Amino acid sequence: MAHLCHAAIALTAAGVLAGRKTAAYPALEPDLKTAGAEFVDSDAVIDGVMVSARAWPDHPAWMREFVRLLRETVPVAEREQTAA
């Protein structure tokens, strides 16, 4: 799962971020802490299968980590066999 900027608000409402490390728009830090998440002020934060970032300037690092995670989780050879 990848999320960016203010998407963390919806995830906190769903209870998904409690106990997890996450980045988000910096003004949301108090909301994330209240929801039980650990706010990390970084361009790409990985916690298990979740990759998060603060805002659009973080897109290069965020997408690089998300694609890396996808490749590790679903190797190309496995996807090719499933598609056949």
What are the catalytic residues?
Answer: 5-6
Q: Which two tokens stand for residue 65?
A: 């980590």
Rounded CA gap, 49 and 5, in Å? 18
